[in-house]
Structure 1
Amino acid sequence: MAAVAALTVLASSGCASALAAPGSRPSGPDDGLHRFGQQKIIWHDCRTGPDDEIGGHLDAAGARCAEVTVPLDHARPDGPAIKVAISRLQAGDPGRRRGALLINPGGPGDPGRVYAPLLKEAEPALAARYDVIGMDSRFTGRSTPLNCHWPIGDYVLSTGHDRRGFDRTAARARDLASRCAGLREMLPHASARATARDMDVIRAALGEPKLSYLGGSYGTYLGAVYMQLFPHHADRFVLDSALDPAAAGPGYARPMGPYLAAALEKWAGWAARHHDRYRLGSTTARVLATVNRIDRAAARDPLRIGRHRVDTHLFPAILLFSLGRDSEQAYAGLASDLKVLNDAARGAEVAPTPSLEEGLTFLSSPETDGAGSARMAITCADGPASRDPGDYYRDIKAHRADEPLFGPLTRAMNLPCAFWPASPAEPPTRIRNDVPALIVGASGDPKTPYPGQRAMRRALSGSRMVTVRGAFRHLVSRVFTATPNACVDGAVHRYLLDGALPAGDTACPDVPVR
């Protein structure tokens, strides 16, 4: 019955062709998990049609693509199966090839196939020595996509300033969760544990005795789970901007508030030095007062930004998406957006900047590719969540004074998990091992705060940590950021190419923006 139900679920979401009934796979002497690792990978062109930009980019870079069959539930290898889409760029220097390097950009749930050519462009020395493997994690991208067809592009909104705003947000979260009820056969199996097991099937099917890895943000947790489950198959692992392993799941965003505020203050100092251009305030305090004034105006009456409306639920989310990049270009982009919002708060008729138009369109448009619902499915499957919405409100209220702008956003970001139609298939992984790894990050990271990075360092006792001091960015290695740091990249190269970890935890200087 479970297999039939899963077939029905995936057929209703347009994914039936990616699911194989148990009898459709050949049996061997070992009819369990072993046969998945013995499957033959069939490589083919990546582009699926004229509108497939990612596939076209992969083909242009010389990548090949494939689908690997994995169990929906690894505890039931004879049950339904799903397909995981991967890409491969073979090592540019075959004579010096040292293995396969899988890259994961985090999210959770950001498709990773496209990162094979991105790594080759950013790090040709690594691409010369490794077969670079990109993977769309299960239920994302082209890997049996999970799509609840939400009426909005993303679920990240603040609950606002009062109980009425919280209740509206909770009702919306309940509605979003209810739209995923038809996929409850899939939902329990969206966790990092399941994806880590998929990774090991991919490793085996590739014929690799070990797997190297470069993961960013949530991808660091996925990498740590793999190291915990498959320590003898983990080769050289680099974790960029590590997530606190104890915070993974529905509570991962709760600690962000103070660090987002610190990053906002850092940007405000830059904006004050450019007051003549953006007119947001001539001191850091005055710029922050402008930000608060915009928020209060949006709470009274939504701001008109071209065809869009920005209220107090949406405004902190705009800041969240912009913070975490501290380059001159990123700071200027945020200042330009806030100049438009400030003018609107004063009653002027305004048009959005191109970046603001893109962001507002995404946030207000119906979900098309399932990215938001897949991200929430992964989050809710990674750990238990309180089923009492009042717990979230009491948490926000307790931090209202010290986190007035971001607390109502980060402490309720994953509120749909309170109403989620399925429970995790298994408890979260406890990370505690001495497998070697290199952890890199920034001390002012607002999205994976530094205390959580240090917690990952302690959990992985065989690791070493390289920190960019004074940087307020999320992601620091060249493949993930537009603000690379030569000191960080040197450490990454020495480890991935030569196997040399630093003798101890070290720091790298930052090059501050002017």
Structure 2
Amino acid sequence: MSVSYRQPGVVLTDRRFTVPLDHARPTGETIELFAREVVAGDKAHQDLPWLVYLQGGPGFGANRFVGKGGAWLGRALKEFRVLLLDQRGTGHSTPANRQTLPLRGGPAEQADHLAHFRADSIVRDCELIRREVTGGAPWTVLGQSFGGFCTVTYLSTAPEALTAAVVTGGLPSLDAHADDVYRAAYPRIERKVAAHYARYPQDVERARRIADHLLAHDVVLPNGYRLTAEAFQSLGILLGG
């Protein structure tokens, strides 16, 4: 059942789709996907081409814009009906998280389950959704970060389904392993951290104090996530943004 409502300048429709957990077993277990349709208020009844947005991550639901939201959405709404998809396992779609994974069994069973949440499955989800919302007509895909990886997978497996593909990040290398890309980023992050400490020297002792506390105590955030010293260190990537 779809529910439509208005925000300033737009009409939103929350939609849900049922897809196979394993596309190789279409009659087996199913999961639910959530997507928010966004269209400009003055174009709500027009027959517009579709643009599906694939969020970065992996592991994040699509942006929850208010009204026309960020600059890219406002631009897209000039000519498209936009579908903000919560990729499988994220957002309001059937979750795959620390609460649900133990129900699948031990580490091996959990890893097997997570193999169904890669870019190839996300693309096959999009293809089922596309046939339902466009009647089989091709659409445009916009991929951000991990969504860019999904977009390249889309181009590799179902190019006939796409009118255009836009990648704003996450263009995979042709010959480098992911570890090579991360190793190339480490010195850059180190330089950014050094620049931060040079500008804010008081943060040096503060960061050490926080890390020491996390090493000696279990700190659980309001969302249930355990904040470790390693997780605290990962905040350094924001300094490179």
**Which category describes the TM-score, using the shorter chain as reference length?**
0.7 to 0.9
| Deviation readout 1:132-154 (Å, 9 max, x if unpaired) | 11111112222222244289xxx
Give the conservation status (yes or no) of the 8 Å contact 2:21–2:28. Answer: yes
For 1:461-500, list aligned pairs within 5 A. 472-473=240-241
Amino acid aligned to 1:43: S
- State how far apart, in whole Å, the 2-side matches of 1:216 and 1:194 are: 17
Give the conservation status (yes or no) of the 8 Å contact 1:221–1:245. Answer: no
Give how far 1:225 is off.
0.6
Structure 1 residue 205 and structure 2 residue 154: aligned?
Answer: no
Give the conservation status (yes or no) of the 8 Å contact 1:45–1:64. Answer: yes
Q: Structure 1 residues 321 and 255 mapped into 2: Cα distance closer, same or farther (>3 Å)?
A: same
Residue 231 of structure 2 aligns with which residue? 317
Structure 1 residue 122 and structure 2 residue 81: aligned?
Answer: no
Task: Choose which of 148, 155, 158 in structure 2 pairs with 1:220.
Answer: 148
| Deviation readout 1:174-194 (Å, 9 max, x if unpaired) | x9x965566677444222111
Residue 103 of structure 1 aligns with which residue? 53
Structure 1 residue 43 and structure 2 residue 14: aligned?
Answer: no
Give the conservation status (yes or no) of the 8 Å contact 2:7–2:66. Answer: no
Q: Residue 121 of structure 1: SS of its match in structure 2?
A: coil
Q: Residue 237 of structure 1: SS of its match in structure 2?
A: strand
Q: Structure 1 residues 189 and 269 mapped into 2: Cα distance closer, same or farther (>3 Å)?
A: closer
Task: Choose which of 247, 259, 283 in structure 1 pairs with 2:185.
Answer: 259
Give the conservation status (yes or no) of the 8 Å contact 1:92–1:129. Answer: no
Q: Residue 214 of structure 1: SS of its match in structure 2?
A: strand
Amino acid aligned to 1:99: P
- State how far apart, in whole Å, the 2-side matches of 1:182 and 1:279 are: 42
Q: Structure 1 residues 322 and 99 mapped into 2: Cα distance closer, same or farther (>3 Å)?
A: farther
| Deviation readout 1:448-475 (Å, 9 max, x if unpaired) | xxxxxxxxxxxxxxxxxxxxxxxx43xx
- State how far apart, in whole Å, the 2-side matches of 1:73 and 1:127 are: 33
Give how far 1:81 is off.
2.8
- Corresponding pairs, count: 229
Give how far 1:235 is off.
2.1
Give how far 1:96 is off.
8.0
| Deviation readout 1:174-223 (Å, 9 max, x if unpaired) | x9x96556667744422211110101111111125122122222111111
Q: Percent identity?
A: 23
Q: Structure 1 residues 254 and 294 mapped into 2: Cα distance closer, same or farther (>3 Å)?
A: farther
Give how far 1:59 is off.
7.0
Q: Structure 1 residues 279 and 181 mapped into 2: Cα distance closer, same or farther (>3 Å)?
A: closer
Structure 1 residue 68 and structure 2 residue 17: aligned?
Answer: yes
Residue 224 of structure 2 aligns with which residue? none
Q: Structure 1 residues 179 and 59 mapped into 2: Cα distance closer, same or farther (>3 Å)?
A: farther
Give how far 1:254 is off.
5.6
- State how far apart, in whole Å, the 1-side matches of 2:111 and 2:215 are: 36
Give the conservation status (yes or no) of the 8 Å contact 2:152–2:171. Answer: no
Q: Residue 19 of structure 2: SS of its match in structure 1?
A: strand
- State how far apart, in whole Å, the 2-side matches of 1:77 and 1:265 are: 49
Q: Structure 1 residues 81 and 149 mapped into 2: Cα distance closer, same or farther (>3 Å)?
A: closer
Give how far 1:264 is off.
3.1
- State how far apart, in whole Å, the 2-side matches of 1:125 and 1:141 are: 24
Give the conservation status (yes or no) of the 8 Å contact 1:119–1:127. Answer: no
Amino acid aligned to 1:318: F
Give the unaligned 5+ runs of structure 1: 1-41, 47-57, 152-174, 281-289, 327-471, 474-514
Give the conservation status (yes or no) of the 8 Å contact 1:138–1:144. Answer: yes
Structure 1 residue 272 and structure 2 residue 186: aligned?
Answer: no
TM-score (norm 2): 0.73
Higher strand fraction (1 or 2): 2
Residue 191 of structure 1 aligns with which residue? 118
Q: Structure 1 residues 119 and 219 mapped into 2: Cα distance closer, same or farther (>3 Å)?
A: farther
For 1:48-447, list aligned pairs within 5 A. 62-94=11-43, 98-112=48-62, 114-115=63-64, 117=65, 120-123=68-71, 124-149=74-99, 179=106, 186-207=113-134, 209-245=137-173, 252=178, 255-275=181-201, 278=202, 280=204, 294=208, 298=212, 302=215, 308=219, 314-324=228-238, 326=239
Give the conservation status (yes or no) of the 8 Å contact 2:35–2:85. Answer: yes
Q: Could you say which structure has the greater relative contact order, defined with CA pairs below 8 angstroms and 6 or more residues apart?
A: 1
- State how far apart, in whole Å, the 2-side matches of 1:110 and 1:96 are: 31
For 1:438-457, list aligned pairs within 5 A. none
Give the unaligned 5+ runs of structure 2: 221-226
- State how far apart, in whole Å, the 2-side matches of 1:74 and 1:260 are: 37
Give how far 1:258 is off.
4.0
| Deviation readout 1:339-379 (Å, 9 max, x if unpaired) | xxxxxxxxxxxxxxxxxxxxxxxxxxxxxxxxxxxxxxxxx
Amino acid aligned to 2:182: M
Amino acid aligned to 1:77: P
Give how far 1:88 is off.
0.5
